[in-house]
Amino acid sequence: MTVRVRFAPSPTGHLHVGGARTAIFNWLFAKHRGGTFIVRVEDTDQARSTRESEEMVLDDLRWLGLDWSEGPDVGGPHAPYRQSERVEVYSAAAQQLLASGTAYRCFCTEELLEAKRKQAEAEGRPPHYDGTCFRLSPQEISARLNMWMPFALRFHVPEDGDVTIDDMIRGEVTWRKESLGDFILVRSDGLPTYNFSVVVDDHDMEITHVIRAEEHLTNTHRQVLIYRALGWDVPQFAHVSLILGQDRSKLSKRHGATSVSQYAEQGYLPDAMVNYLALLGWSTPDGREVFDREYAIGHFSLDRVNPAPAVFDPQKLDWLNGQYIHAMSAAELRPLVARFFDAPWLEEGIDVVKTSVHRLTEFREQLRFVTDYTPPRPSPPAPLPAAREEGGQRPGEGPSIDRPFAIALLHELRTNGTPTDAEGVKAMNERLKIATGLKGKALFMPLRLALTGLDHGPELVRAIPLLRHASELDPAVLSPLRRAEACIA
């Protein structure tokens, strides 16, 4: 039997990282087993679902690089893949349950149910449906039907409600016949509830493995009862734990970015995102943590998925994203970076600074020494020792520069020109060493300061040629020569 799995998002906003990880696990599982990955939209909650959200979620999945062979956008043998368009399928199943007596019409209003719930809770009883409508006689039912009273369809939980599943992540989970009240299958507006539609769809779409979030674990109890009442085979279940924020509560907006589109905007790469999310709960058999999709597909298994919830760690994501960026060539990176920041000299710029970048958006800041330049102030005469605070800068440090050094540099650039490569920079350094009598840090720091205006940045043998090339390609970039002049003015 070939594996068929599905990811079933509710279209109520962008795809969240938790959903993304569930989708990734489903996708990896399907690919690993040579099965089929399906996307199904669960939009029976009309108040919250929108078509725009559906598009966003699908776009987010595409951005992650996941592909599905059946879904609302591509169709498939079990179309439609949008629950709001599948009402006939549900009513057929509902009729079957109604006919067999497992389901019954409930005429209770929401207000009445709410009142009963409150009452039960106040008396310390479980807040379950009291079965009023289950006891209605056929006469009473037809009377209400004749009055056009709206009704919902309720599932009658059998006396022997014991259910055991063998969860692929958690092992055996058993629910004894316990506090489980008769629950709604079809709402009075005719749309099915989650527990009903999910069973009907998973059966209809021949889903073999249901891999979903842990929040659905206890719902499985109800769902298995429905499977049994309908005489259907129960699929394999695998419940993946939740993703938590730093404070160990369920990840939400106040923890910062939670949707994958936000991560895309912040300069994370899809490959890094998939890698990181896969690592949140799953571990590789050989312990490696940086891997591509082929590796993940080849080695994925639900046995290695941890049942405990995991805290989302932005620092590790940053590190991983950096690993991917560092491994890419400047040519590969350029079109991706150009989304955030562009310049004619961008590719060389990327090549020079990429080791200090963890997110694509950081290139802009790392290359600011090219686009922006403020000449360092001249060295102050003799700082007053009394004015120094503990831990303050000592004389001679800080973003300032000696006038004689600036003059020597300007002379060097005018006489020999600005180096165009690392060899040229080294030659220039040798000449400056002789001209100024400085060497090592005493030479390089003032040089860096004079040409970049900053006391840190990429190595000068790379930075100086970049500045020259950039100024030749881009009139907005001040050349090294002009910078040296500015130091003296």
Q: Which of residues 173-232 bind RNA (CB under 7 A)?
A: 173-176, 178-179, 181, 183-184, 187-189, 191, 193-195, 214-219
List the one residue from 4, 7, 10, 275 that touches RNA (CB under 7 A).
10
25-33, 253-261, 310-318, 339-347 -> range binding RNA (CB under 7 A): 310-318
Q: Which stretch binds RNA (CB under 7 A): 30-38, 171-179, 224-232, 470-478?
A: 171-179
Tell me, letter by letter, the H, E, C secondary structure of the chain. Answer: CCCEEEECCCCCCCCEHHHHHHHHHHHHHHHHCCCEEEECECCCCCCCCCHHHHHHHHHHHHHHCCCCCEECCCECCCCCCEHHHCHHHHHHHHHHHHHHCCEEEECCCHHHHHHHHHHHHHCCCCCCCCCHHHHCCHHHHHHHHHCCCCCEEEECCCCCCCEEEEECCCEEEEECCCCCCCEEEECCCCCECHHHHHHHHHHHCCCCEEEEEHHHCCHHHHHHHHHHHHCCCCCEEEEECCEECCCCCECCHHHCCCEHHHHHHCCCCHHHHHHHHHHCCECCCCCCCCCCHHHHHHHCCHHHECCCCEECCHHHHHHHHHHHHHHCCHHHHHHHHCCCCCCCCHHHHHHHHHHHCCCCCHHHHHCHHHHCCCCCEECCCCCCHHHCCCCCCCCCCCCEECHHHHHHHHHHHHHHCCCCCHHHHHHHHHHHHHHHCCCCHHHHHHHHHHHHCCCCCCCHHHHHHHHHHHHHHCCCCCCHHHHHHHHHC
Per-residue x/- track, 48-87, RNA (CB under 7 A): x---------------------------------------
Beta bridge partners of 154: 104, 184
* Distance in Å, CB of 489 to RNA, minimum: 24
Nearest distance from residue 52's CB to RNA, in Å? Answer: 17
Does residue 135 bind RNA (CB under 7 A)? no
Window 111-130: residues binding RNA (CB under 7 A) = 113, 117, 124, 126-129
- Interacting span for RNA (CB under 7 A) from 23-31, 67-75, 389-397, 444-452: 444-452
Of the pair 30, 460, the CB lying nearest RNA is at 460
Q: Determine the Cα–Cα distance for residues 161 and 354; give it in Å rounded to an integer.
A: 60
Site for RNA, residues 260 to 289, rule: CB under 7 A: 279-281, 283, 287, 289
The CB-of-314 to RNA minimum distance in angstroms stands at 9
Which of 101, 150, 404, 437: binder of RNA (CB under 7 A)? 150
Q: Which one of 57-65, 225-233, 291-299, 438-446 is the stretch in contact with RNA (CB under 7 A)?
A: 438-446
Nearer to RNA, 2 or 109 (CB): 109
Least distance (Å) between residue 198 CB and RNA: 7
Query: One symbol per residue from 341 to 370: x for binding RNA (CB under 7 A), - otherwise; what is it?
Result: --------------xx--------------
d(CA 60, CA 257): 14
Stretch that binds RNA, among 253-261, 337-345, 396-404, 459-467 (CB under 7 A): 459-467
Closest listed residue to residue 37, CA positions, set 49, 52, 51, 26: 26
- List the structure tokens of 351: 């090549």
**Cβ neighbour number for residue 327 with a 10 Å cutoff:** 11
For residue 285, the minimal CB distance to RNA (Å) is: 7
Number of neighbours of residue 461 by Cβ within 10 angstroms: 17
Which C-beta is closer to RNA: that of 344 or that of 443?
A: 443
Known active-site residue 253: yes
- Cβ 131 vs Cβ 158: under 8 Å: no
What's the closest the beta carbon of residue 65 comes to RNA, in angstroms? 21
Hey, which residues does 240 pair with through a beta bridge? 213
Stretch that binds RNA, among 56-64, 262-270, 301-309, 473-481 (CB under 7 A): 301-309
- Residue 376 engages RNA in binding (rule: CB under 7 A): no
The binder of RNA chosen from 224, 460, 470, 484 (CB under 7 A) = 460
Smaller CB separation from RNA, 2 or 7: 7
| Between 12 and 96, CB nearer to RNA | 12
Q: Does 456 bind RNA (CB under 7 A)?
A: yes
Among 306, 393, 416, 420, binds RNA (CB under 7 A): 306
Among residues 253, 316, 433, 439, the one annotated as catalytic is 253
Q: Which of 71, 235, 457, 480 contacts RNA by CB under 7 A? A: 457
- Closest to RNA by CB, 81 or 183: 183
| Total site size for RNA, rule CB under 7 A | 86
The catalytic residues are 253
